Structure 1
Amino acid sequence: MITKQHYLLWTIFLLLVALILYRFFSSSQLTTSKEHIQRTVVLLEDNVNIRTEASEKSSIVTKGKKGEEFPYLHQEDDWYHIALPNNETAYVTRALAAMSYEKTDNLLEGKTIILDAGHGGKDEGATGKRGTLEKNLTLQTVKNIQQELLTLGATVILTREDDTYIELEDRVAVSKQQWADLFISIHYDSALTSAAKGITTFYYRQKEDKPLAKTIHESLIKRTKANNRNFLYGDYLVLRDNKIPSILLELGFLSNEEDEKRVNTEEFQQTAVEAIVEGIIEYVHK
């Protein structure tokens, strides 16, 4: 005779088996897609030295131009190993180059990413000398990132889609409700001194958050050429209470006239978005 207790135990067992199989096949699909990712290394400046080995002391094979791309082979410390047109290989420093991905593939398929536009509604955040409201700029940036991520197959969820005030706890709750993989909060900074400028990235947990912070921050600095304020520990509720890899980006100082003008340009927005997306791809496929 099958009792209610037996039925319940059997149901739980079947659910656990289904969950294990789902995780297994999801992982298998990700591994398979990773093997087919087309990656290139793009040079960020002119007259970049391309060397025979991963060392500043090695011989220079040739010099590359800004925007020039080479097939990516692998990464060796702070160097990219690249393929040259003559079927030879060489090395270029990561400080002067960035990874680029073939965006026609669903590189982020199966990944759920939460994008958090800082502030909103009655909470305006920082206000620039030129009148920029942080709450408006964060939403603009988040929507630009969303569009890029969607083209790569990711499921993207915004903590707010308009000028609405959202409690910090409710922002964190979104990632828990959606079984998300990453949480990225976008902000623009302000300081008492107008001299402060540049990009800062914050993380809370060393193991879970710091690798994501490092990857995206380095991508941002290389791409935007902004003042590097580093990736740092930050005790913010949206990071502290999140159980998934989470970071908070401060993309510039609205209290600095130069930064405020810069972050409002289409060029900066496009470059920053590309850098963030490429950082996400690199982190996911490491």
Structure 2
Amino acid sequence: MIKTAVVWMLLLTLALPGSVMEAYPVKEQTMTRPAHAVHKSLLSTTRLLTETPESTHSSGQEIDQSELRQLHPFAHDVILIDVGHGGIDGGTSYGEILEKDINLAISRRLFMLLRKEGYHAVLNRDADYALSDDNRWHRSSSRHRRDLSQRKQLSSEIPTKLVVSIHVNWGKNSSKRGGIVLHQSEGRSTLLADTIQEQLNLVYRNNNHIMVGKPYYLLNQTQVPAVIVETGFLSNMEDRKLLTGRNGQMQIAEAIADGIISYLTAL
């Protein structure tokens, strides 16, 4: 009985508002920093709480699971924004223009837009670093494999509503342009891709179509609805202007946000 009480005191201490309030957004909250990413200490708390047995007895009473849910650092299902590449992995490039930087810029804007509308969203990175550096559990010599598995794992570590992965495209034919959304072979993912694609087509004034992302690890391994948004072609001059300019990045972020909100409204 003493051990049980000590464990629950520890969980309550970890879940105090002062340590986790920034883990999920409140609509009226004023932003003081550009974005918040998920930090290692927060994931440790998440893992500890989610691994608590469904039925724990203390003083002869069973713990209400709804109360346990409120102790979780993420009390709401979140929209997980997967910021493509980072750190040593620059992604595609054009001269000194790197995909990883564009991904982060658009993702930050998307994050802010969703928070402004009252949606609970998180970034899996808010600076230039490789997620593979955080992966200490996957026994693989491949940095790329550790990076991918770390991105997938986060969606199972925290309560996730959907995953939107932000990337930039490249084509051998420089005339190819516009955003393209890749989705899982699953109805909700297809609907999410459709709503985002529709908004991106308005930005680029074209008629691109969604595609099933069969070979993509993130789409194949993630259990919740997930899409990969190729926000434009860095190989195309017109797209490049949008992808690298503040106004263009905001237009793209707004299109993705509008698509996500349309999807959530339709459910």
Give the TM-score category using the shorter length: 0.5 to 0.7
Residue in 2 that maps onto 1:83 = none
Amino acid at match of 2:189: D
TM-aligned CA deviation for residue 228 of structure 1: 3.1
Q: Is 2:179–2:229's contact at 8 Å kept on the other side of the alignment?
A: yes
Structure 2 distance, partners of 1:10, 1:216, is 41
Are 2:113 and 1:148 equivalent residues in the alignment? yes
Shift of 1:9: 8.9
Contact 1:120 1:163 survives alignment (8 Å): yes
Normalised by the size of structure 1, how large is the TM-score? 0.61
Number of residue pairs matched by the alignment: 191
Question: Aligned AA for 1:225?
Answer: Y
Equivalent residues in 2 for 1:196-211 (5 A)?
A: 196-211=176-191
Aligned to 2:224: 244
CA distance in 1, matches of 2:190, 2:55: 41
Shift of 1:216: 1.2
Q: Which residue of 2 aligns with 1:229?
A: 208
Residue 238 (structure 1) shift: 1.0
Deviation of 1:152 after TM superposition, in Å, equals 2.1
Kindly state the Cα deviation for residue 177 of structure 1 after the two structures are TM-superposed. Answer: 0.7
- State the 1:282 CA deviation: 1.3
Find the counterpart in structure 1 of residue 15 from structure 2: none
- CA drift at 1:110: 4.2
- Hey, what's the Cα distance between the residues in 2 that align with 1:121 and 1:193? 28
- CA deviations 1:6-31 (Å, max 9, x no partner) are xx99649956x7459x8xxxxxxxxx
Larger fraction in strand: 1
Aligned residue identity for 2:221 = D
Structure 2 distance, partners of 1:9, 1:250, is 40
* Percent identity (aligned): 30
Cα drift, residue 201 of structure 1: 0.3
**Misfit runs of 4+, over 6 Å:** none
Match of 1:128 in 2: 94
Distance 2:54 2:126 in 1: 42
Q: 1:220 aligned to 2:200?
A: yes
Q: Name the aligned partner's letter for residue 212 of structure 1.
A: L
Contact kept, 8 Å, 1:122 with 1:165, in 2: the verdict is yes
Runs of 5+ in structure 1 lacking a partner? 1-7, 23-108
| 1:123-169 deviations in Å (ceiling 9; x for gaps) | 1111125x311000000110111111112222222121111112011
Q: Which residue of 1 aligns with 2:158?
A: 178
Structure 2 counterpart of 1:112: 78
Structure 1 residues 197, 169: CA separation in 2 closer, same or farther (over 3 Å shift)?
same
Q: 1:19 to 1:137 in 2, by over 3 A?
A: same
1:201–1:230 contact (8 Å) kept in structure 2: yes
- Could you say which residue in structure 2 is the equivalent of 1:283? 263
Higher helix share: 2
More relative contact order, 1 or 2 (CA 8 Å, 6+ apart): 2
Distance verdict in 2 for CA 1:197–1:227, change over 3 Å? same
Is the Cα–Cα contact under 8 Å of residues 188 and 225 in structure 2 kept in the other structure?
yes
- On the 8 A contact 1:197/1:256 being kept in 2, the answer is yes
Aligned counterparts of 2:198 and 2:169: Cα–Cα separation in 1: 18
Query: Quick check: which has more Rg, 1 or 2?
Result: 1
Q: Which amino acid aligns with 1:245?
A: P
Shift of 1:111: 4.2
Could you tell me how far apart the structure 2 residues matched to 1:261 and 1:273 are? Answer: 15
d(CA) in 1 for partners of 2:54 and 2:83?
Answer: 43
189-198 vs 164-173, greater mean Cα deviation: 189-198
